[in-house]
Structure 1
Amino acid sequence: MMDHTHSNGCQVPEDQQTKIDEIRKLLGPLPEKSSIYCSDECIARYLVARNWNVKKALKMLRETLAWRLHYKPEDIRWEDVAEEGETGKIYRTSLKDRYGRSILVMRPGYQNTKSVKGQIRYLVYCMENAIMNCEPGQSQMVWWIDYDRYKVSNISFKATKETAYVLQEHYPERLGVAILFNPPKYFEPFWKLARPLLDVKTREKVKFVYSDDPTTTEIVQDLVGIDSFDSFDEYAARLRFDFDEYSARMREDDIKVSLFWKTKQVNGSVLPSFSDFDEDSEESSRRNGVVGSEIKSEGEIVEINGHG
């Protein structure tokens, strides 16, 4: 049986590629951004989430495409959600785990707003940013859920239900592992209520870790790669949050997001990763047909953010 190679370098068995091609055919012509979104790797994630059942995966993917057309997650910018992010209740650390996965820190005890709608919008922004910052060939991330300052008043079943729905229905197979760090005793009854909201695959990825329990911290050492630090506490300290520093990082990433989508739309080539826009930005811009604030392709100039 012949294997196929995706743009991320992964080998795909022929029978799986046949199902990917079948879904692509059934989807038919798509709007430009939807077409960009539906890479082979993307379609494969939906198939995996539905145990390679084409009919179920197709339904799930179509619902996500409809959601993305309406919600426009790729158009959310830091300035739109900065108020939600002031306390660092969700943020992407600059660290990666040993597999090159982005680490998204979630601190429910630092909740600073009441609107579930606003909270979900910020979560979506953070998810999109973490995905963009995964290393080439890596599509999953780590959630580090820190229960520092967590109180009973922080418990919101409505927000949890909405979060579980968005993440499972529209970001399938994006979670590598979820580390619940030092959850208090009074979290246990809530977990019993929330657990059924998660599918079996997701529940298996949830790991409870306590800083005073070596048997659980070993889980983190193995999965996240803490052994490269002097201690567990040193690693946890590296997950710190500084609003001004983080805001600057997110604004830089927002520029890369514009380049990311518009380069693909103009060039029609393999979708670039964020790494293509790091290091020497001018050199990477030339590689992707981008010079300064413009994208140039076959004599055509497309302005970004209204600047030429």
Structure 2
Amino acid sequence: MDLRSANSQNGMNGEAKPDECHYISDADLVKIMKMREIIAKDDPAPKVADDATLRRFLYARESNVQHASELYIKYRKWRQTFVPHGCISETVITNELKKNMVCMQGFDKKGRPIAVVILKRHKPCHKALEDTKRYFVYTFDKMASRTSSGQEKFTIIVDLEGWTYKHVDIRGYLALLEILQNYYPERLGKLYFIHLPYIFWAAWNIVCPFVDKKTKQKVSIVENKDIRTTLLMDIDESQLPEIYGGKLPLVPVQDAVVPNLPAN
């Protein structure tokens, strides 16, 4: 299914505008072949990902074959230990799912699936950090499964309304940032922060040094007066959540239907 037909089935208005091409250039294919050689030397037994996946790792490391290969090897070892069964079962994150912290519905104008993170529904607890990490791996996997051929990225809206000091979890944010940047490279298309409380900048100044250059380029910190206008630049009203003046209700991520996703 091409991107236009996929978006039509998902109710998008107009023509999709993917920000990446499904076609892989000859130059990239040569580098991907070299990556496969390096990865095979580390461990020849496991199945290596497809070309499109390896290209994401390549782009995340500025087309440096050695660095991209090392990142993929690190990813594969992490995946084998953290997600040994191929996916995170809902049965191991029931407490996190009850919070309905993440909702997933709609697509932006480039065909990227949209998630809304209601951050006030998360309260820091050192004992629950691993559960939080599993919950977001479950979420990232589900969003990645909802992407189309030729469009491998997703969009995240972080809503900070009602977010106060008691909700601040720097340790958790840094853990999730590491997972997103190292294990889901080139998956993030856009990241919005909206409904900013006065403490946002204090937290951002702590986290910001750990945000890599590519991720920073995708971040949009939106003033309250500009929320609707800014979101509508990238998201059609028909795909925008109702709470931001759009047409779609919020759907908890566990209730969002994703074709071909393994059942929990």
In the superposition, the TM-score normalised over structure 2's length comes to 0.81
Residues 58 and 222 of structure 1: is their aligned pair in 2 closer, same or farther, counting only changes over 3 Å?
Answer: same
Aligned equivalents of 2:238, 2:96: Cα separation in 1? 33
**Aligned counterpart, 2:101:** 89
Q: Does residue 1:31 correspond to 2:46, yes or no?
A: yes
Structure with greater strand share of residues: 1
Are 2:112 and 2:154, in contact at CA under 8 Å, matched by a contact in 1? Answer: yes
- 1:182 shift after superposition: 1.0
**Aligned counterpart, 1:51:** 62
- 1:164 shift after superposition: 1.0
Aligned equivalents of 1:229, 1:180: Cα separation in 2? 15
1:85-130 deviations in Å (ceiling 9; x for gaps): 21211232x2111122111211110115621111011000000001
**Aligned counterpart, 2:171:** 158
Q: Over the residues paired in the alignment, what is the CA RMSD in angstroms? A: 2.6
Are 2:238 and 2:248, in contact at CA under 8 Å, matched by a contact in 1? Answer: no
Q: Does residue 1:70 correspond to 2:81, yes or no?
A: yes
Q: Does residue 1:128 correspond to 2:132, yes or no?
A: no
**Aligned counterpart, 2:12:** none
SS at match of 1:66: helix
Written as runs of structure 1 = structure 2, the 5 A alignment for 1:1-308 is 10-28=22-40, 29-32=44-47, 35=48, 38-72=49-83, 74-92=86-104, 94-111=105-122, 114=125, 115-213=128-226, 217-226=228-237, 233-235=244-246, 238-241=248-251, 247=254, 249=255, 253=258, 256-258=260-262
SS at match of 2:98: coil
Q: In the alignment, residue 183 of structure 1 is paired with which amino acid? A: L
Unaligned runs of 5+ in 2: 1-19
Aligned equivalents of 1:233, 1:43: Cα separation in 2? 36
SS at match of 1:88: coil
Are 2:228 and 2:244, in contact at CA under 8 Å, matched by a contact in 1? Answer: no
Unaligned runs of 5+ in 1: 1-7, 260-304
SS at match of 2:245: helix
For the pair shown, which has the larger CA radius of gyration, 1 or 2? 1
Are 1:87 and 1:112, in contact at CA under 8 Å, matched by a contact in 2? Answer: no
1:240-263 deviations in Å (ceiling 9; x for gaps): 246xxx64x35x65x93338xxxx
Are 1:113 and 1:119, in contact at CA under 8 Å, matched by a contact in 2? Answer: no
Are 2:106 and 2:240, in contact at CA under 8 Å, matched by a contact in 1? Answer: no
Are 2:56 and 2:185, in contact at CA under 8 Å, matched by a contact in 1? Answer: yes
In the superposition, the TM-score normalised over structure 1's length comes to 0.70
Residues 230 and 14 of structure 1: is their aligned pair in 2 closer, same or farther, counting only changes over 3 Å?
Answer: closer
**Aligned counterpart, 1:295:** none
Q: In the alignment, residue 220 of structure 1 is paired with which amino acid? A: L
Sequence identity percentage: 21
Are 1:182 and 1:208, in contact at CA under 8 Å, matched by a contact in 2? Answer: no
Q: In the alignment, residue 186 of structure 1 is paired with which amino acid? A: I
Aligned equivalents of 1:200, 1:82: Cα separation in 2? 34
Q: In the alignment, residue 257 of structure 1 is paired with which amino acid? A: L
Are 2:101 and 2:118, in contact at CA under 8 Å, matched by a contact in 1? Answer: yes
Aligned equivalents of 1:192, 1:81: Cα separation in 2? 30
- 1:9 shift after superposition: 7.0
- The higher relative CO (CA closer than 8 Å, separation ≥ 6) is in 2
